[in-house]
Amino acid sequence: MDPHLLRTFITVAECGSFSAAAARLGYTQSAVSQHIAALESDLGTPLLGRRPVVPTPAGERLLEHAGPLLLRLDAARADVRRTIAGPPSTLTLAASPLAAHSLARGLAEVRRSHPGTEHSLTVCGRSQVVAGVAAGTFTLGLIDGIAAPTDPLHLSDAVQLRTTPVAHDELVVALPADHPLANRRDLTLADLVDARWIDAPDLAAPLAALRTAAGSNALHPAFTYHGTDLRTLLTLIQAGHGLAALPRPAVTPSSAAVQGLAAVPLTRPRLVHRTELLHGHLSGPAAEALAGVLSDLE
Amino acid sequence: MDPHLLRTFITVAECGSFSAAAARLGYTQSAVSQHIAALESDLGTPLLGRRPVVPTPAGERLLEHAGPLLLRLDAARADVRRTIAGPPSTLTLAASPLAAHSLARGLAEVRRSHPGTEHSLTVCGRSQVVAGVAAGTFTLGLIDGIAAPTDPLHLSDAVQLRTTPVAHDELVVALPADHPLANRRDLTLADLVDARWIDAPDLAAPLAALRTAAGSNALHPAFTYHGTDLRTLLTLIQAGHGLAALPRPAVTPSSAAVQGLAAVPLTRPRLVHRTELLHGHLSGPAAEALAGVLSDLE
DNA sequence: GGCTATTACGGAAATCGTAACCATG
DNA sequence: CATGGTTACGATTTCCGTAATAGCC
């Protein structure tokens, strides 16, 4: 189970095609075919059905492991490199969309405290932030999510990263102002199991996360929004396509898009929207250089 | 970072010698030397000092990652194999020493419910139980440890295993009957920070675990017992070499070794001794075959 | 018949062992 | 000088690309 083989396997499964995967990886179709054949021979079982190329049950299991495995491998390499490198000369920040709001608040402070260094900010999905910080692509990451009030965010257990809580926000349900529930003082998830939900996994808390947090598995999305634009989501809600759980500040900024929206606190189960700072293990001068950033953001 | 190279690296670090590692792995000294050289060239930094052979700081970091990484790799392989294999014809059980007590209670039930299959039981350290179950060496594992009353046991996050709580026992401090604290109704960790502790990491809760659970880092062992025999540990305590935190049932069985020992509940921080059943993801007939075992033990 | 995976084969590269070499205690 | 890590070198294997083959829409 060479990591290269696993990487090819993941790519083929993603692409649904040997040749597309080969193109993406810079191999020939032949090489990809040999990689998969080697894996299948090693594990003694077919991993992919051909034509169409879809994972077998065994392949599904392997897929669940392969990604985290490669991530951990990158994390290990990045961790070693950090110990031999001095303090980073460029601060590369990453944040999930809703966490970027918190970051924007503190960014001025960060730049002032590190006038000499270059800065960059990337806004992308939660898992990409985690993966990037683990692999050393980003110096710092900021992610958001929902959790019980005392619990930390439960991020991919593939990697071991330091986390620092940055902000807790009240979790509210955003719904059209003329929605029957819009005038309620508060809401429980029980009130909402039959509601029309918009799942916006790249932006708001994924419905799956809400489901596990609530222990219920009755929440089903009526609509899925793949995107990271908050205003688009709010407009969708306003137009009655469904409702979503968001941090209070996201629904009540001084923004024109918010007119016609109600934000009702979600009080049961007790959940909060949490923002956390992620960073790899930093030692020596690097740690000192970043201590300022952390304290600025907290 | 080929897994083979990582494996050699771990072995060399453990052995403190290239040649010893070569013997253990079935390589020549030369091959081991080349492996380490390849790793160091890949990562661009020395990982081991020679003569004596000790990890550099960078090597230490890599060591922290390498073990879990290889474990996860084995876990992936085992997981795939489980999906293609039918129900296991032999039930291989593993348990940490104190968990084995709980297992012995239920073992008769297990054997009765699976009269056709072979059974075996291995008692070994917690991490070996976890690793063995992850790698598929054991069908089921039973581990014990301490945790906050509502929390699950925090086992190595390298692997993803199902856990089922089996037993909660009160955590008591075992001390000689003539110890000044022996007559207390209960104890807090604050009472015991200056006490003489026996650390028995293979048997009782490791002091390090107590420390992190307590948030304090003032607990230092006066004596370390490497072994898995409960009666030996109890005798050590009785003889005044120190005290230890144990589950209530371990200190008050109908056993002769217990005379002269006191068991005082540890009430603060709120901790319990917990026993959990571990198993890999089982699908189809295998899951059904083992469902009985799980329910028997619960 | 076109698209795509597989197989055959050859050259390049990597792997490991033997053996000579060298460094440290 | 002896133990033990390194380097040199060669046989074997592995890996990947080219090209021919085979299988499914």
**Shortest CA distance from A158: residue in chain B:** B158
Percent of chain B with pLDDT over 70: 84
Q: From CA A167, how far away is CA A165, in angstroms rounded?
A: 6
- Cβ-based neighbour number of residue A66 at 10 Å: 22
Helix axes B57-84, A29-43, angle to 10 degrees: 70
Q: Are A249 and A225 in contact (CB under 8 A)?
A: no
A-chain CB neighbours of B80 within 8 Å are 43, 45, 47, 58, 61-62
The CA dihedral of B172, B174, B178, B181, to the nearest 10 degrees, is: -40
Range with the largest mean pLDDT of A157-161, B172-176, B207-211, B292-296: B172-176
Q: From CA A255, how far away is CA B221, in angstroms rounded?
A: 60
Q: Which band of pLDDT confidence, cut at 50, 70 and 90, is reported for residue B206? A: confident
* Chains A, B: CB pairs < 8 Å: 82
Q: Are A279 and A141 in contact (CB under 8 A)?
A: yes
Q: How far is CA B197 from CA A130, A152, B177, B238, B269, in A?
A: 40, 32, 16, 13, 17
Protein contacts on strand D: list nucleotides below 7 Å from a Cβ.
Answer: 4-8, 15-20, 24-25
Residue B26 approaches strand C within 7 Å at CB: yes
Q: Are B98 and B250 in contact (CB under 8 A)?
A: yes
Across all strands, nucleotide nearest B28 (CA–C1'): C17
For residue B142, the SS3 value is strand
- Residue A107 has what pLDDT? 66
A-chain CB neighbours of B66 within 8 Å are 76
- Residue A36 has what pLDDT? 95
Protein contacts on strand C: list nucleotides below 7 Å from a Cβ.
Answer: 4-8, 15-20, 24-25
Q: What is the 3-state secondary structure (H, E, C) of A277-298?
A: EEECCCCCHHHHHHHHHHHHHC
Q: Is B75 on the interface with A (CB under 8 A)?
A: yes
Q: Is the confidence at residue B252, as pLDDT, over 80?
A: no
Q: From CA B237, how far away is CA B176, in angstroms rounded?
A: 6
Q: B2, B61, B82, B156: best mutation site toward chain A, by most A Cβ within 10 Å? A: B61
Q: Which two tokens stand for residue B283?
A: 């699908």
- Cβ-based neighbour number of residue A179 at 10 Å: 19
Q: Which of residues 225-284 of B touch A (CB under 8 A)?
A: 281, 283
Handedness of CA B77, B83, B86, B92 (dihedral sign): positive
A-chain CB neighbours of B44 within 8 Å are 81, 84
This prediction has a pTM of 0.81
- Residue B266 has what pLDDT? 87
Q: Which band of pLDDT confidence, cut at 50, 70 and 90, is reported for residue B7? A: very high
Task: Compare CB distances from A83 to B61, B66, B79 and report the shortest one's residue.
Answer: B61
Greater model confidence, B227 or B296? B227
B52: preceding bond cis by omega (within 30 degrees):
yes
For range B259-273, the mean pLDDT:
84
Cα end-to-end span (Å), chain B: 42
**With an 8 Å Cβ cutoff, are B43 and A80 in contact?**
yes
User: In chain A, which residues have pLDDT < 50?
Assistant: 284-286
Helix or strand run (H / E) with residue B176? strand B162-176
Q: Which two tokens stand for residue A202?
A: 């790249």
Distance measured from the CA of protein residue B216 to the C1' of nucleotide C10, in angstroms: 65
Handedness of CA A148, A151, A155, A158 (dihedral sign): negative
Closest CA to A47 of A38, A33, A37, A59: A59
For B119-146, what is each residue's pLDDT tens digit?
788 888 888 899 999 998 888 888 898 8
Percent of chain B with pLDDT over 90: 26
* Cβ-based contacts with strand D at under 7 Å: A 2, 4, 26-31, 34-35, 38, 51; B 17-19, 29-30, 33-34, 36-37, 50-51, 53
For B61-83, what is each residue's pLDDT tens digit?
999 999 999 999 999 999 899 88
Greater model confidence, B172 or B262? B172
Q: Is the confidence at residue B199, as pLDDT, over 60?
A: yes
Alpha helices in chain B (DSSP H): 3-15, 18-25, 29-43, 57-84, 97-113, 126-135, 189-192, 207-214, 230-238, 248-251, 285-297
Greater model confidence, B248 or B86? B248
For A187-199, what is each residue's pLDDT tens digit?
888 788 788 888 9
**Shortest CA distance from B160: residue in chain A:** A157
Range with the largest mean pLDDT of A58-72, B161-175, B258-272: A58-72
Q: Which of A114-123, A199-208, B231-240, B281-290 has the lowest mean pLDDT?
A: B281-290
- Residue B228 has what pLDDT? 85
A-chain CB neighbours of B45 within 8 Å are 80, 84
